[in-house]
Amino acid sequence: MKMVFETRKILEDDTINVSPTTVRVPVKGGHSESVNVSFHHSIDVDEIHTLLSQFPGLIVESLPHYPMPLYCTGRDEVFVGRIRLDPSEMNAINMWIKV
């Protein structure tokens, strides 16, 4: 529930639906999250890549690389990778985030 409350608080929107699954795995140097985002309209993965790449403090990684603690430890940026369309849901993407 912490992820639900924090997402709504940070984005200042109590209407955002969040359905998190949290898994705790001992990893040196941060947390990783599998994130699914739904939109009201059709989306383009390349557009999402471009938009996220412009956000200060966020680094978008492309395949074959994706955010892994081995490469992110000791850095303050948020790393996003494996951005792809969700085949089970219209207008949705999946991505991997390392903080």
- Alpha-carbon distance of 5 to 16, in angstroms, equals 10
Task: Please tell me the pTM assigned to this model.
Answer: 0.72
| CA–CA separation, 53 and 30 (whole Å) | 21
By three-state DSSP, how is residue 72 classified?
helix
Task: Give the pLDDT band (50/70/90) at residue 80.
Answer: very high
* CATH code for the domain in which residue 50 is found: 3.30.360.10
Domain count, the chain: 1
- Domain-located, residue 47: yes
Helix (H) or strand (E) holding 12: none
In a domain, 6, yes or no: no
| pLDDT reading at 75 higher than 80 | yes
pLDDT digits (tens, 9 = 90+) for 16-67: 887 777 676 667 777 788 889 999 999 999 999 999 999 999 999 987 677 8
pLDDT at 64: 66
